[in-house]
Amino acid sequence: MEGVDHLAHERNKAQFDVAVMKAVWAGSRDAYELFHRFSRLVANDPEMFIPAIKAQATEEQQKQWLPLANKMKIIGSYTQTELGHGSNVRGLETTATFDPKTDEFVLNSPTLTATKWWPGGLGKIATHALAHARLIIDDKDYGVHGFLVQLRSLDDHLTLPGITIGDIGMKYGSGAYNTMDNGSLIFDHVRIPRNQMLMRLSQVTREGKYVPSNVPRQLSYGTMVYVRQKIVFDASIALSRAVCISTRYSAVRRQFGSHNGSPETQVIDYKTQQARLFPLLASAYAIRFVSEWLNSFYKDLLQRLEAKDFSTLPEAHACTAGLKSITTSVAADGIEECRKLCGGHGYLTSSGLPELSAVYIPACTYEGDNVVMLLQVARYLMKTISQLKSGNKPVGTTAYLGRAEQLMQYHSDVLRAEDWLKPNVVVEAFEARAARMSMACAQNLSKFNNPEDGFQELSADLVEAATAHCQLIIVSKFIEKLQQDIPGKGVKEQLGVLRSIYALFLLHKHIGDFLSTDCITPKQGYLANEQLRSLYSQVRPNAIALVDAFNYTDHFLSSVLGRYDGNVYPKLYEEAWKDPLNDTSIPDGFHEYVQPMLKQPLHHGRL
């Protein structure tokens, strides 16, 4: 019935202050603001073009271009990836050749694989590209740099001479990413003034002299680092959206279990449903909190870079790359699991889940393929370990590697299931697992004469070690979050339950790592799982309130299954009747194609 809250009985069970939990979830940034930007981003791509100009352009160039971009007087596309190269930025083929006679760069796509391919907004709407191309001076290749290139007339939007642009076509399903005009672009000797090479980091003089950057060349990758830390926050939003839908629906849906006319069982009360759903609920909160930490770490990096302090740049790269990889994989897989948790109705477009999945899953690829990103983390870990011998004391997220010797001797002292509720017990186990996996890789690497050959040969193990490292970061940041002052009745307690679920679910999922590195015994693994089951029972009465705390409107969720009032069935039915197929009783084509078959006489019992 309209106006009735079918989930009121669930909300009345809450054992904590939901208003405070909403504030904890919203944190320092408005979730709507960023996620809406993500949604708008699917339609346009100013979110990279502008940061890239800030990161790579001189003050003078920023003064010229930023006002135009900010006021949408020009529409930019971050045009880096090509048909033949995306992950390998140093492999890009587009060239920008300096012509001293005219003080210009000539941009050209020398091969088909040099065609720019995928950049958002490029296909139909962008008027300008921040094109990444190999800088060539006097036949010498100085590597990939950024160039501002006008693509279309600002009068009639027609493409300019030497520019061939197109959309790359439909993408995955009918998802909203098809509102994004990811495009292709070929340059045929397009000339731009020299001052349209972004010259904050390195310059080309009028005489054609290359002035190399006096800062780490990787700062030219700064926009990717910026977006990756944003993507971690978006992962928490996308996953929490799916968890909200599937949790509310799990409380509404009843299936089996009726005795003597009693109501059937709510599927949220099945232990299998809880074992699938509650770790995702905990993961949404875990990712939200690690994104908060990562954002503050990134802001600290920016301040340091202003002061030419590059000391945390390697760690910032490793953390943004690794956490982008882990959190987008968890969110993408989690959204699909939430669809399955809703049974058949989860497959309906009106559930909101297929669309959310179709829009979200490329996050595992864009801004750095997730495996390629974890390999970057692995390189960082191996380098950190290699420097231990020279007395280099790791700090920050790799500080535990400074205690590697001690961690190699670690054995968990868990005796009872409730021992696994102690944050220090959990952190020690995760540190030991990560340290032993990385140390084992480093040891195996040392057996190879050529370190690069070793790295390739061991890359699958290295990815697992990098994963363990990133999961340790997320667990640690969740624990640190709860060491802050958090007011409100029962709020910190509930977050403590979610923190333990997140950690013990990972321990259970990766029990092979913990056993094979001899960090815990099978019995201790069993106790962790025992504790996990008990924790699910503690979350159960608070589940609806915990997803209410995401504070998403029905409009934002756009899901019949995830409605705040739980009034699912009438709305499912109502929504179905909006489908154009139901405008007529007899479907188009029936008379032409189906009816003749039905009317066909039977011949000897055969049609």
Ligand X SMILES: CCCCCCCC/C=C\CCCC(=O)SCCNC(=O)CCNC(=O)[C@H](O)C(C)(C)COP(=O)(O)OP(=O)(O)OC[C@H]1O[C@@H](n2cnc3c(N)ncnc32)[C@H](O)[C@@H]1OP(=O)(O)O
| Contact by Cβ (8 Å): 321, 376 | yes
Q: How far is the CB of 86 from ligand FAD (least distance, A)?
A: 3
Q: Which of 34, 109, 367, 44 is nearest to 221 (CA)?
A: 367
The partner in contact with residue 514, picked from ligand FAD, ligand X, none with C-beta cut-offs of 5 to 8 angstroms by kind, is none
> Which one among 80, 291, 328, 551 touches ligand X, defined by CB under 6 A?
80
Sign of the torsion angle spanned by Cα atoms 100, 102, 103, 105: negative
CB atoms within 10 A of CB 571: 18
* Residue type for position 308: K
- Of 292, 367, 428, 431, which residue is the catalytic one? 367
Residue type, position 300, single letter: D
Residue 194: count other Cβ atoms within 10 Å of its Cβ.
18
- Establish whether 81 is an annotated binding residue: yes
When CB distances are held under 5 to 8 angstroms depending on the partner's kind, the choice from ligand X, ligand FAD, none that residue 313 binds is ligand X
367 carries an active-site annotation: yes
> Mask of contacts with ligand X, 233-262, x by CB under 6 A?
-x----------------------------
Given 368, 454, 525, 562, the residue binding ligand FAD (CB under 6 A): 368
**Nearest to ligand FAD of 182, 567 (CB atom):** 182
Per-residue x/- marks for ligand FAD, 103-122, CB under 6 A?
---------------xxx--
| Binding letters toward ligand X, positions 21-50, x by CB under 6 A | -----------------x--x-----xx--
Q: Is position 120 annotated in a ligand binding site?
A: yes
- Shortest distance in whole angstroms from residue 299 CB to ligand FAD: 24
Comparison of 175 and 279: residue with beta carbon closer to ligand X: 175
Does 319 participate in binding ligand X (rule CB under 6 A)? no
Which is nearest to 242 in space by CA: 580, 599, 552?
552
Please state, in angstroms and rounded to a whole number, the distance separating the CA atoms of residues 187 and 162.
Answer: 6
Select from 400, 514, 389 the least CA-distant residue to 443: 389
Q: 485 in helix, strand or coil?
A: coil
Distance (Å, rounded) from C-alpha 429 to C-alpha 412? 7
Per-position x/- string for 342-371, each x denoting binding to ligand X as judged by CB under 6 A, each - no binding: ------------------------xxx---
Query: Rounded distance, CA 27 to CA 36, Å?
Result: 16
Cα–Cα distance for residue pair 61/44, rounded to 1 Å = 23
Quick one: angle between helices 46-56 and 59-70, nearest 10? 160
| Window 159 to 178, contacts with ligand FAD (CB under 6 A) | 177
In the complex, least distance from residue 177 CB atom to ligand X, rounded to whole angstroms: 9
Please give the radius of gyration of the chain, using alpha carbons only, rounded to the nearest integer: 28
Residue 470 CB neighbour total at 10 angstroms: 25
Q: Taking CA 394 as the corner, what is the angle to CA 393 and CA 397, rounded to the nearest 5 degrees?
A: 160
Q: Decide if residue 535 touches ligand X (CB under 6 A).
A: no
Q: How far is the CB of 441 from ligand FAD (least distance, A)?
A: 15
Annotated binding-site residue numbers for FAD: 81, 120
Residues found near ligand FAD in the complex (CB under 6 A): 45, 78-81, 85-87, 118-120, 177, 182, 362, 365-366, 368-369, 371-372, 375, 459
Residues found near ligand X in the complex (CB under 6 A): 38, 41, 47-48, 78, 80-81, 86-90, 120, 218, 221, 224-225, 227, 230-231, 234, 313-314, 317, 366-368, 372, 376, 379-380, 383
